[in-house]
Amino acid sequence: MELIEGRREKNRLQAGLDASKYIEYDIISKTTKTTEEISMAAVSAKYIIESILRVGCHGSKAVTDEDWHYLQALAVVLEETATIYYYIRYDIFPHALKISDLYEIEDIKGKEAFSHEEFYKTESKLKVDSAKQSYERRKEKAISEQPEGDRSAQPFPKNMQEVNIAFKNQYGFSLDNFGTVLHVLGCMDLSHEHYSPLSLVSEKILISKLKENIKEPPEESEIKKILEFASLRFGIYKPDEVLITSQLMRRKERLNLCPLIYLETGQYLYGNEMCLGASRIWLQAISSADLPYELPENSLIETALAKLHRYMDIELEKEAEVIATQVLGGNNVEARIDNFKRLSPSFPAKPDCGEIDLLAVNKSTKTIFVLDAKNRNRKIRPYDIGQELKKFFEGNKSYLSQLIKKEEFVKNNLKDILAHFSIQDDKEWKIYKAFVVSTNYPAAYYQGINIDFVLISKLADFLNNT
């Protein structure tokens, strides 16, 4: 797993380097292919390791390369079969198996609910763009010869402090200290000569090294709780438990989130890249007001995250307003329209269409934009994808149905709305509706429905060129 995660990081750095200079091959295509290979290797390796933790190590035979590859192949087949089952169950990707007279099995695929190919192509492009920005920042830092400073993670922004406190109250350690410990574990070189690239360290020595490498280290008792929280151990899964990735993603107890393994000898076994990867997963999820596993809705952490999510909803709406104002001018933009009498005294204060997040006009192209900002947490389990598609598209209360109502209100009251923007000519105007989003959703590639999902980073281009 450590070598696989090292390859993943190398792929990310290479993508940033390639994107920063002219090359003759397709970076996106190459990155997509390599990412798929790494993901498949990682999923199978994690499945094997988690299975070992479930049943224990009772054999005496050494595992050869051939044995390992055979186990990986079995793990891949199990994972793919489970994924197909859940895709069928949640109406995402119909499959059928055709068995011939010679007992040959053919997998027949139906029409997928959303285009996986286009979704992952965009995912790769976003990853390449992010890697390029990261490379440029590192390059600028190297040129300016700025010192690296200590290995502690950066302090949390103020809007996350409530989540930070909730972690302290619920688990006995703060989120920023948790992130710092994982980050520093990923940076320290404690690799064992017999287990390289892994580290095998006693709890006492590991705590001592962490305190040496963190500028303002947590109390020893807090570090112990963090290490226990971020660890897996033998027997953590029940003997009869089925370990399927889509099910494990509901739980904290998986290698992505808990990269250390605690042994009965009192030692911790871990790898640097695994710790850095876990740190990124935790912080990326929580900074998006999400949690990478399930907790009761009324838990302290879920309550704090709900408040953070609402704050981020409003921030997305505000950012969209700022961009629209910069592109089209303040006189051509109205945001967060809750009372419609501000558009016209003849309008009802609160029509059935509900609040419009952003209403803007491009006078040059004679276009009116009716935009709805959506900051829904994105998860990639088949069940969650199915729920996302239903929320966006199914029923009278879906996001799309609500957006269509807003579009129809504008269409039915076009003359009054144009007058609000001091426009007298009401002929040949186009009305575009779209969702403004902060992340790449599978719903954006839903088959059969033509609706734009505009990333906030692409909103200016959309307003100028649509």
Task: Tell which residue, 54, 204, 31, 57, has the closest CA to residue 126.
Answer: 31
Cα–chain center distance at 228 = 25
Cα–chain center distance at 12 = 16
Q: Using alpha carbons only, what angle is made at residue 298 by residues 171 and 172, rounded to the nearest 5 degrees?
A: 10
Q: How many residues does the chain have?
A: 466
Q: Using alpha carbons only, what angle is made at residue 39 by residues 37 and 45, rounded to the nearest 5 degrees?
A: 105
Residues of the chain with CATH 3.40.91: 307-465
For residues 198 and 270, the answer to whether their CB atoms sit within 8 Å is: yes
Cα–chain center distance at 178 = 20
For residues 132 and 464, the answer to whether their CB atoms sit within 8 Å is: no
Pairwise CA distance, residues 288 & 180, whole Å: 18
Task: Tell which residue, 376, 330, 374, has the closest CA to residue 355.
Answer: 374
Pairwise CA distance, residues 319 & 457, whole Å: 10
The tokens of 364 are what?
Answer: 């040059």
For residues 335 and 369, the answer to whether their CB atoms sit within 8 Å is: no
Q: What CATH number is given for 307-465 in this structure?
A: 3.40.91
At 150 the three-state DSSP class reads coil
For residues 276 and 181, the answer to whether their CB atoms sit within 8 Å is: no
Pairwise CA distance, residues 404 & 169, whole Å: 44
At 376 the three-state DSSP class reads coil
pLDDT value, residue 151 = 47
Pairwise CA distance, residues 79 & 43, whole Å: 8
For residues 246 and 83, the answer to whether their CB atoms sit within 8 Å is: yes
At 26 the three-state DSSP class reads coil
For residues 266 and 228, the answer to whether their CB atoms sit within 8 Å is: no
Pairwise CA distance, residues 304 & 286, whole Å: 10
DSSP, res 444? G
The tokens of 254 are what?
Answer: 């998986």
Global pTM?
Answer: 0.85
**Residue written as tokens 């993943």?**
8
Integer distance in angstroms from the first to the last C-alpha of the chain? Answer: 46
Mean pLDDT of residues grouped by 10 in the chain (466 residues)?
88 80 72 87 91 86 90 89 88 84 82 89 86 76 55 61 94 94 94 84 95 93 97 90 80 93 94 94 91 88 93 95 97 96 95 96 96 93 92 95 97 96 93 96 92 96 93
- The amino acid at residue 62 is A
Pairwise CA distance, residues 241 & 85, whole Å: 18
